[in-house]
């Protein structure tokens, strides 16, 4: 007898289970139930409707129920809410949202792919107002865009500086709106460490987004919002994007096990604790391959893989479950920002012994007109050199570098492996020694104890403590902006001016991107200096790091000028 | 006592040895000898001077001897030809090209980094004429550009369709010249298989390059060249780029061992058979990690790694020698073309059991305006699924996909590993299931015997033999161009029109990019069809494949029209 497969949720995960099951089994009866009016829309493309990059909101819907029927012989029931799972009877209760009628359907296999919903804290006054929006589906984004357009709204507040908040803020800003982005933490974009997040924050501020960190919303009214700090921000529309919560009420009510992270608990095969019910996508708890701990991950790639694995398991087809590492990329105005694996924060939280390097090489041969610096941070296990994660920010191909690191992590690669990687090179595409090779070389020198470094986050302290800082850039670069009280001796003059460099105290060195300062560090060490320390991140990193702080905190400046060239 | 390190050749390899040795040892005396007037120029950027992408030819020189002196305390003697190695005395003989004087220098360690020189067959009449050029260094490229500019030359022939030939042809075409590109083989760009090379050839022809394959030059005169076939081609300047030959005369004369490939033979540490003489770069013989055979490789990345390893070995610093796989990328007008590892030809030549898939997915989410198809060919070992190589061609980030495969090869990855890779995704950057994931999925289905395929190179034969070909694209796509006599049943109608599909003979299927045809193959197999075969490469591949052949061979067309959309 043919299998009857019911699927709750018809977006990324659900639609993928359905399509895969059909390819395996032409005879199966496959039905998807979706509460909303659309199945299979491009979730990740929603924010781009706000700027007009995706002009027509209806284009966000990738396949209609008719197309599912015709191309795959899959039934997609939209406006159909599943209100109950009767797992002992192997039945679900479905409510037709249009007629209001309830009915039951029986299954051989059930798949939960309900996703996650935006968090809307009831403690915020005005949170249920007509000017408060979330971004979860095509209906949401069209509603938001419609409200802004019809009411000619200029001032908009976006609450939350994660992926969705940042993408919504960017696309609304591209549409010419006045955007305030409010984030409760002291940085946006948590996949990035504090130092790297500064670069993203600078880009948003440069492009006119008003950025408010370490503050939250207390009250929303028609014309403004009031923050926890008491500050008032003009806003006629508010987009809530502080996070998502997995949709687990159906599962809970049915007595399915929920994991420690609040997601639905699944086994190797994405089966819940019921042998006929699978769960996939944003609602489940996944296993992090690097921390060896359960976690949650709202990303489309893993959801698709889980969906395929669940369908395969229904037909006894083997699949691997490697756990997740979390790779992502986002465009923030002119910058791409990509990351994978662990960052400093998550490595610390997981109690993993790590070290890192932060370099800023060119993404292409300098002769090429669109060559530009790439900020690249590599996290590795100490003392093994096993690669744990990376963050890349720049105008060039950040995703390419992070995908290489993601591949390395998956394959258990070390710094020695990364150093030896033979990558594509042409001056139009990169450098003979690619960013990732270069990061491995610097990291190996650090791992093997060839030199010492201090992170860019410590520079203020160095300056305030009156430490000896040596700037080995050329004089004209120094003239355009430098650390207060730093001594300028260009690399080319250093061997002749050793008398100006003290041997009896630490010497902190930097140049623009660390390449020249690294040569200077090695030269001084070879010349008998025992306490030479490179400033990781160098001058470009210091500029980014100080930019937000100086403007917002009003603390005494440690740089004479900013110069990012 | 401090070490005396002499280096013959001051470009990529030589300059890298020098800089690395200096970082390790401040006391060493380091001297580079370069026959030409420049050290450390950007070899790979030379062709871009012809189009003006690099406007000023002098910018191609990255560091002057003065900068080497000041920044690294390295002596760079230009216009200095090393004429002899006296290895028993540990001395070299140097000829000052300006004064003509010869003198000797003694060394503790000697490094040969002489590179490779363009091949100029003496059998070609007129090969020594003033209108015949090669592209090896800054002097060459300025000479070529100067000759073209001063003589207002419009018609130029480029001989050889490898990296240099293609890049020179492209950049001269970008400068508005009439370019004939002549290649002795039946395809350009040997890192690519015949099917993939068709795409590159189409791009060059579309952009106005006259392409002549399977023909060679017999005679060069002032106004034209005469080919082996007797054909005459108008050309007032000729660029010879048929290949390079390693510079081994000094090494041979000194009694250093030469490998079977004609390159200088080196050990794990890049030492020749003399314990104080290293050799690196284009002149040496390397070990191919995949074929397990000696080979030669003229690429900048490996040269830099060899240089670093040689310097390290002088100071007893450990390094790994992983052999080479050969990764490269080139821009050909609007297309990027990247490859790594083995292709079909090299796998066959090495006697390695392999299979491949050729897919054409979108490089980004289709909603994004600059989304475009990427031609991707993945070669893997049969029956192990170990990844051996890949080729990618398209407007999008081909280098990113190939770098992922290069990383996989280096780490010994299989198709199962590639399928599970968790890569960066945003609609602006890619698709949730990336091109490389998708290739692995298709390849695994093939490896596991889930479906059969026929390569695009066999389509003409199928048509000529009157085989049953089913086109599952939509009717409007079929109307714009299709295989002669193919039957059109869109995927959405296939289940209702089974009576039109024969069960008693092979059914060959294709769509545009293989995605719909794959679904149709699975459906038909599940419906009892036992001999269903997918056409690998699908309609887009067929178009590219037939484009050159139809135009050049004049054979009967197998397509009603070309339609690449």
Whether residue A94 is preceded by a cis peptide bond, meaning omega within 30 degrees of 0, is no
Q: What is the DSSP letter of B324?
A: B
Distance, in Å, from the CA atom of A509 to the CA atom of A469, rounded to the nearest integer, reads 6
Sheet of A75-77, strand order = A75-77, A29-33, A4-8, A109-112, A277-279
Helices (H), B47-137: 48-51, 65-67
Which residues on chain B are in Cβ contact (under 8 Å) with A496?
none
Asked whether the CA dihedral A441, A446, A452, A453 is positive or negative, the reply is positive
The answer to whether the Cβ–Cβ distance between A408 and B404 falls below 8 Å is no
The predicted-structure confidence for B170-180, as pLDDT tens digits, reads as follows 999 999 999 99
Chain A: residue whose CA lies nearest to B339: A424
The predicted-structure confidence for A287-298, as pLDDT tens digits, reads as follows 999 999 999 999
Tell me what the mean pLDDT of segment A383-411 comes to.
Answer: 98
Is residue A268 within 8 A of residue A321, CB to CB? The reply is yes
pLDDT (0 to 100) of residue A551 = 73
Which residues on chain B are in Cβ contact (under 8 Å) with A73?
495
E-strand stretches of B255-403? 277-279, 286-288, 293-295, 327-332, 335-341, 354-359, 374-381, 387-394
Q: In 10 A of CB B318, how many CB atoms?
A: 10
Choose, out of B141, B387, B407, B519, the residue to mutate when testing the contact with A (most A CBs < 10 Å).
B407
Helix or strand holding residue B301 (H, E): helix B300-314
Q: What is the DSSP letter of A110?
A: E
Strands B109-112 and B116-118: unpaired
Backbone angles phi, psi at B14, to 5 degrees: -60, -50
Three-class secondary structure of residue A503 per DSSP: coil
Is the model's pLDDT at B553 over the cut of 80? no
Distance, in Å, from the CA atom of B17 to the CA atom of B74, rounded to the nearest integer, reads 11
pLDDT (0 to 100) of residue B551 = 73
Chain B: residue whose CA lies nearest to A329: B424
pLDDT (0 to 100) of residue B514 = 86
pLDDT (0 to 100) of residue B304 = 95
Instruction: For domain A4-43+58-115+245-314, give the CATH number.
Output: 3.50.50.60
Tell me what the mean pLDDT of segment A326-345 comes to.
Answer: 98
Instruction: Kindly provide the b/e burial profile for residues A334-343, where b requires at least 16 CB atoms within 10 angstroms of the residue's own CB.
Output: ebbbbbbbbb
Tell me what the mean pLDDT of segment B59-64 comes to.
Answer: 94
- Nearest 10 degrees: CA dihedral of A226, A232, A238, A240? -50
B81: closest CA among B44, B34, B140, B43?
A: B34
Whether A327-450 and A453-553 share one fold: the answer is no
Is the model's pLDDT at A564 over the cut of 90? no
The answer to whether the Cβ–Cβ distance between A301 and B425 falls below 8 Å is yes
Is the model's pLDDT at B565 over the cut of 80? no
Q: What percent of chain A lies above the pLDDT cut of 70?
A: 100
The predicted-structure confidence for A514-532, as pLDDT tens digits, reads as follows 889 999 999 999 999 999 9
Is residue B183 within 8 A of residue B213, CB to CB? The reply is yes
pLDDT (0 to 100) of residue B547 = 83
Residue B3 pLDDT grade (very low, low, confident, very high; cuts 50, 70, 90): very high
Structural fold of domain A453-553: Oxidized Rhodanese; domain 1 (3.40.250)
Distance, in Å, from the CA atom of B416 to the CA atom of B127, rounded to the nearest integer, reads 52
Q: Which of B338, B420, B493 sits opposite A320 (nearest CB)?
A: B420
Q: Which of B327, B336, B495 sits opposite A422 (nearest CB)?
A: B327
pLDDT (0 to 100) of residue B544 = 86
Tell me what the mean pLDDT of segment A108-128 comes to.
Answer: 97
Tell me what the mean pLDDT of segment B223-235 comes to.
Answer: 97
E-strand stretches of B34-177? 75-77, 80-86, 91-96, 102-106, 109-112, 116-118, 132-133, 155-159
Is residue B48 within 8 A of residue B171, CB to CB? The reply is yes
Distance, in Å, from the CA atom of B201 to the CA atom of B413, rounded to the nearest integer, reads 32
Q: What is the DSSP letter of B10?
A: -
The predicted-structure confidence for A429-453, as pLDDT tens digits, reads as follows 999 999 999 999 999 999 999 999 9
Chain A: residue whose CA lies nearest to B396: A397
Helix or strand holding residue A468 (H, E): strand A468-471
Which residues on chain B are in Cβ contact (under 8 Å) with A75?
none
Q: Which of B42, B304, B526 sits opposite A25 (nearest CB)?
A: B526
Whether residue A422 is preceded by a cis peptide bond, meaning omega within 30 degrees of 0, is no
Distance, in Å, from the CA atom of B21 to the CA atom of B100, rounded to the nearest integer, reads 30
pLDDT (0 to 100) of residue B555 = 81
Tell me what the mean pLDDT of segment B241-263 comes to.
Answer: 97
Is the model's pLDDT at A548 over the cut of 90? no
Distance, in Å, from the CA atom of B500 to the CA atom of B523, rounded to the nearest integer, reads 15
Distance, in Å, from the CA atom of A346 to the CA atom of A298, rounded to the nearest integer, reads 17
Tell me what the mean pLDDT of segment B89-100 comes to.
Answer: 97
The answer to whether the Cβ–Cβ distance between A420 and B523 falls below 8 Å is no
**Mean pLDDT, rounded, of chain A:** 95
pLDDT (0 to 100) of residue B460 = 92
Residue A120 pLDDT grade (very low, low, confident, very high; cuts 50, 70, 90): very high
pLDDT (0 to 100) of residue A527 = 94
Domain B132-242 has CATH 1.10.3720.10: no
- The top-level CATH class assigned to B4-43+57-115+245-314 is alpha beta
Residue B201, CA distances (Å) to A277, B95, B185, B465 in order:
52, 45, 13, 27
Q: Which of B340, B427, B432 sits opposite A304 (nearest CB)?
A: B432
Structural fold of domain B327-450: FAD/NAD(P)-binding domain (3.50.50)
Q: Where are the domains of chain B?
A: 4-43+57-115+245-314, 132-242, 327-450, 453-553
Query: CA of B519 to nearest chain A CA: how many angstroms apart?
Result: 6
């Amino acid at each position: 007898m043919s299998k009857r497969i019911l699927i709750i949720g018809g977006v990324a995960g659900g639609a993928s289970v359905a399509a895969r099951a059909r390819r395996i089994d032409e005879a199966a009866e496959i039905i998807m139930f979706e509460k909303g009016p659309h199945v299979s829309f491009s979730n990740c493309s929603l924010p781009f409707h706000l700027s007009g990059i995706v002009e027509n909101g209806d284009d966000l819907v990738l396949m209609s129920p008719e197309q599912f029927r015709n191309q795959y012989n899959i039934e997609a029931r939209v406006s159909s809410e599943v209100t109950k799972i009767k797992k002992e009877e192997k039945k679900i209760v479905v409510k037709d949202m249009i007629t209001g009628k309830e009915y039951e359907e029986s299954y051989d296999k059930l798949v939960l792919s309900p996703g996650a919903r935006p968090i809307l804290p009831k403690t915020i006054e005005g949170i249920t107002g007509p000017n408060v929006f979330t971004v979860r589906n095509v209906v949401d984004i069209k509603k938001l865009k419609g409200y802004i357009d019809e009411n000619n709204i200029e001032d908009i507040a976006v609450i939350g500086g994660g992926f969705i908040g940042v993408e919504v803020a960017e696309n609304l800003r591209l549409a010419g709106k006045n955007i305030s982005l409010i984030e409760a933490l002291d940085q946006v974009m948590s996949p990035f460490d504090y130092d790297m997040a500064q670069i993203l924050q600078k880009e948003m501020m440069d492009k006119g987004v008003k950025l408010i960190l370490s503050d939250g919303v207390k009250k929303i009214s028609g014309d403004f919002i009031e923050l926890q700090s008491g500050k008032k921000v003009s806003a006629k529309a508010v987009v809530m994007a502080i996070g998502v919560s997995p949709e687990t009420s159906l599962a809970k009510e049915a007595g399915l096990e929920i994991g420690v992270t609040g997601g639905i608990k699944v086994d190797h095969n994405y089966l819940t604790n019921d042998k006929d019910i699978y769960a996939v996508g944003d609602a489940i708890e996944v296993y992090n391959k690097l921390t060896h701990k359960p976690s949650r991950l709202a990303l489309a790639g893993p959801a698709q893989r889980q969906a395929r694995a669940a369908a395969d398991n229904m037909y006894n087809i083997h699949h691997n479950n490697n756990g997740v590492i979390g790779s992502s990329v986002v465009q923030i105005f002119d910058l791409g920002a990509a990351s994978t694996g662990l960052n400093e924060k998550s490595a610390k939280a997981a109690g993993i012994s790590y070290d890192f390097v932060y370099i800023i090489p060119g993404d292409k041969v300098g002769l090429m007109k669109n060559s530009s610096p790439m900020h690249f941070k590599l996290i590795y296990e100490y003392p093994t050199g096993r690669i744990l994660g990376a963050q890349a920010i720049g105008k060039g191909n950040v995703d390419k570098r992070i995908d290489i690191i993601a591949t390395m992590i998956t394959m258990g690669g070390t710094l020695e492996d990364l150093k030896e990687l033979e990558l594509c090179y042409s001056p139009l595409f990169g450098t003979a020694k690619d960013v990732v090779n270069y990061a491995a070389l610097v990291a190996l020198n650090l791992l093997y104890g060839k030199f010492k470094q201090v992170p860019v986050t410590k520079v203020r302290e160095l300056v305030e403590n009156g430490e000896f800082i040596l700037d080995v850039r050329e004089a004209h670069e120094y003239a355009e902006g430098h650390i207060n009280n730093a001594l300028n001796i260009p690399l080319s003059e250093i061997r002749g001016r050793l008398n100006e460099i003290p041997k009896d105290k630490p010497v902190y060195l930097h140049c623009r991107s660390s390449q020249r300062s690294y040569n200077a560090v090695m030269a001084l060490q070879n010349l008998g200096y025992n306490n030479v320390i490179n400033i990781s991140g160098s001058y470009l990193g210091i500029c980014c790091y100080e930019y937000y702080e100086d403007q917002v905190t009003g603390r005494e400046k440690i740089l004479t000028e900013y110069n990012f060239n």
